[in-house]
Amino acid sequence: MAKKEIEKKGILSNHGIDRNFKTLILEVQKQVEDTRLVLDQPEGKLQNKILTRDDYIDNLKSLIENKCFYSNLKANLGKRELDLIRAINIITANLEKIADFSVNIISQLQYLDNPLFLHKFDYKSLFDEVTSSLELVERSLRKQDINQAFKICRSEQRIDDIFAEQFKLIMDDLRQGNEVENLVTSLFILRYLERMGDQLLNIGEAIIFAGVGEKLKISHIEALEDSMENIDIHGPITNLSIESFLETKSGCRINRIQGQEKADQETGVIFKEGQVDKLEQENKNIQLLEKMKPGLPPRVFGFNKNGKSASILLEFLNGTTLQKGLLESNNRFLDRAMKQLTHDLEDLWTRSKKNKPVHAHYINQTNQRIDDIFRAHPDFKLLEKQIGTHRTLSLNALLDQTHRIEDEIGGAPFSVLIHGDFNIDNVLYDEAEGVIHFIDLHRSRHQDYVQDISVFILSNFRLPVFVSRIRKNINQMALNMYDFGQQFAKNQKDPTFEARLALGLIRSFTTSTRFEFNKEFASTMLLRAVYLMEKLMGYRGQPWEQFTIPRDVLVY
Amino acid sequence: MDDEFRHESIQDTESIRNYLQALLDGFENGRILFGTRKKKLILEPHGLLNLSVKARRKNKEVKVSVKISWVEDKDSREAGQDLLEIKPGKKKIK
């Protein structure tokens, strides 16, 4: 059933559930707000009001529960409507809990010598978070707005953070040994507010459940930055920090998944927020890839637009990135993964092949990023030099010359559906199932497959890991991809594969330097690009079909 | 006064000829120009040249250095000596 129909048909309004539900939310909101007022100004009659309202809220909860469970409501409903009812039930229970905590807070007040003692701590920010999330509940469920639901979910994290700060302050004070009773009571009060956050997370998840029809566990919330360029980059890493690199990079994913027992029906999800056009593109790309090669991309559970920003809810895929496999030196994994990957690429590329020639414009792509490269490495402009009769060119002049060569070589004779950002950390291998998945597909399109190959090779090369055991595998992976590409070109009768790969590598070597601040390593990459450009220039006049790349240039 | 010129690149056994040949030609002509647009260093090798050749293999890293040095006529240059050192990039042995 389509989202809006739920509203129109008013399955719920027939039985008055929606009215009860709205009332419940309003009452809980009032309860929380009044509790805050009592804490602000402990004198007054509000306390009694809160206790009375608690009974009313309990009644409302039972009423909604009864209607959800025992009415004949469920007789003729489809799954989506049943999901909605289930969600309402969950939300109701959690809202009632929040109201209970309000009462608990009030009853703690009597243990404070001075009710104003609590003002030492930032309970106000906690209330702010709770009340602003409560405001979103009714509307986000009614509109099935996953964006809003996620806002509710995320408030739990913020509430936890604020609580943690206050907790620390209280502990510091406790160590001084004064006002112990007051401090412990304050801690209880703040703890109830923190628990309200947990209920809000349950509420947010229930709304998402109603929206997508599956019980999802939020594994990873990712905010896309405005510049999509930064996505594949995780900051400079050095040889010494592999351990922390492993932890920080994939830690957030793993922690959330492994930290909790997984229920049977739960699917992990990743939530991405970002600009509408980019996420819309990713959504389209995923649909297209799914058609060509089912299971390769993640499933899309929801897509929401909200003005200029949008959010997408993606399946959290099981598996390990190739990059992680490399860093962990998991040789068995790497062998199997590469076999499956090249098999899948062959399949995807053959199926998606369109015979119209296509031009990737590698040197233009390089020129578009040249300012960033020079900003990171001003000396990479390379002055023109002369050694005796031998002259070398500046980087700009080299690129100019190579641009001309690119025109001579021409584009690819056909296009395939490429990944578009084919880094080794955008490829997952699920060893148990033996399947490959692609992630981060916002740049996928029909293009020259050589672009994916060169990006893949460079994402190996540029890993700043120089431990020889790991480096050996990195080099092997780059060479495997090269060999596969060569074979694919041969099968598809693509005569200029090597020459175009040289161009793709020039692009990737050059542009990768802007993220590498280890001067020596960045230089190595630039000099390889220069080497390839000089190689192409020296080859001019001969048939491009016979140009070959020295394998050594692909490995470090 | 120190005049210095540096250039680094990656070559293969074929393309390295361009550099070596240019240097050889320079020695033959008694004049080698090392320059950028901003700065030129002209060396005029003549007379006796000290030549030292070093080769080394350590683990898998191989290095060959050829050092050619001489002292210039005190008249034609202010003072000091210029040193020209040619060090090919590290080349791996498979």
- Domain boundaries along the sequence of chain B: 16-92
Helix (H, G, I), strand (E, B) or coil at A172: helix
Q: Sign (positive/negative) of CA torsion A465, A468, A473, A475?
A: positive
Q: Which residue has the tokens 């709770």?
A: A130
Nearest CA in chain B to A386: B35
Q: What is the dihedral of CA A159, A164, A167, A168, to 10 degrees?
A: -150
For residue B34, the distance in angstroms to the closest alpha carbon of chain A comes to 5
Tokens 């401090």 label which residue? A183
B10, B18, B19 ranked by CB distance to A528: nearest: B10
Q: Do the Cβ atoms of A388 and B11 come within 8 Å?
A: no
* HEC profile of B20-67: HHHHHHHHHHCCEEEEECCCEEEECCCCCCEEEEEEEEECCEEEEEEE
Query: How distant, in Å, are the alpha carbons of A267, A340, A523, B14, B17 from that of B88?
Result: 57, 41, 16, 13, 11
Q: Which residues of B touch A389 (CB under 8 A)?
A: 22, 25-26
Domains of chain A in sequence order: 3-213 (1.20.58.220), 221-315 (3.30.200), 350-423+448-554 (no CATH)
Q: What is the pLDDT of residue A4?
A: 44
Closest residue, chain B, to A524 (C-alpha)? B10
Which of B15, B32, B92 has the CB atom closest to A388's CB atom? B32
Other CB atoms within 10 A of residue A7 CB = 14
What are the pLDDT tens digits along chain A (556 aa)? 444 444 444 556 667 888 889 999 999 999 999 999 999 988 778 888 898 899 999 999 998 888 887 766 666 777 778 888 889 999 999 999 999 999 999 999 989 998 899 999 999 999 999 999 999 999 999 888 877 888 898 898 899 999 999 999 999 999 998 899 999 999 999 999 999 999 999 999 899 888 777 666 665 555 443 333 333 333 322 222 222 222 222 222 222 222 333 444 466 777 777 788 888 999 999 999 999 999 999 998 888 777 777 888 888 888 999 999 999 988 999 999 999 999 999 999 999 999 999 999 999 999 999 999 998 899 999 989 999 999 999 999 999 999 999 999 999 999 999 999 999 999 999 999 999 999 999 999 999 999 999 999 999 999 999 999 999 999 999 999 999 999 999 999 999 999 999 999 999 999 999 988 889 999 999 999 999 999 999 999 999 999 999 999 999 9
Name the residue with higher pLDDT: B36 or A310.
Answer: B36
Is there a contact between A334 and A342 (Cβ–Cβ < 8 Å)? no
Considering only CB atoms, which chain A residues are within 8 Å of B25? 388-389
A291/A312 Cα distance (integer angstroms)? 19
Rounded to whole angstroms, the Cα distance separating B34 from A347 reads 54
**Residue B77: pLDDT above 90?**
no
What pLDDT does residue A2 have?
44
Radius of gyration (C-alpha) of chain A in whole angstroms? 30
Chain A residues touching residue B35 (CB < 8 angstroms):
385-386
Q: What pLDDT does residue A45 have?
A: 82
CB contacts of B33 in chain A (<8 Å) are 386-388
Measure A534 CA to nearest chain B CA, in Å: 9
Residue in A385, A534, A535 closest to B35 by CB:
A385
Quick one: pLDDT at residue A303? 83
Instruction: Say how many CB pairs under 8 Å bridge A and B.
Output: 54
Q: What pLDDT does B89 receive?
A: 52
C-alpha to C-alpha distance for A338 and A336, rounded to whole angstroms: 6
Question: How far apart, in whole angstroms, are the C-alpha atoms of residue A350 and residue A484?
Answer: 14
- Judging by DSSP bridges, how do beta strands B91-92 and B61-69 pair with one another? antiparallel
Q: Which of A484, A486, A509, A505 is nearest to A497 (CA)?
A: A486
Q: What's the pLDDT score for residue B78?
A: 47
Option in B15, B23, B38 nearest A387 (CB) = B23
Mean pLDDT value across chain B: 82
* Cα A235-A519-A395 angle, rounded to 5 deg: 105
Cβ–Cβ below 8 Å for A390 and B19: yes
Give the model's pLDDT for residue A486: 97
**7-66 in B: which are within 8 Å (CB) of A?**
7-12, 15, 18-19, 21-23, 25-26, 32-38
* B contacts of A527 (beta carbons < 8 Å): 8-10
Q: Give residue A528's Cα distance to chain centre.
A: 33
From chain A, pick out residues whose CB is under 8 angstroms from the CB of B60: none
Nearest C-alpha of chain B: how many angstroms from A555? 11
Burial (CB < 10 A; 0-12, 13-18, 19+), residue A376, is: middle
Give pLDDT, residue A80.
Answer: 79
Amino acid at position B20, single letter: L
CB A260 within 8 A of CB A310: no
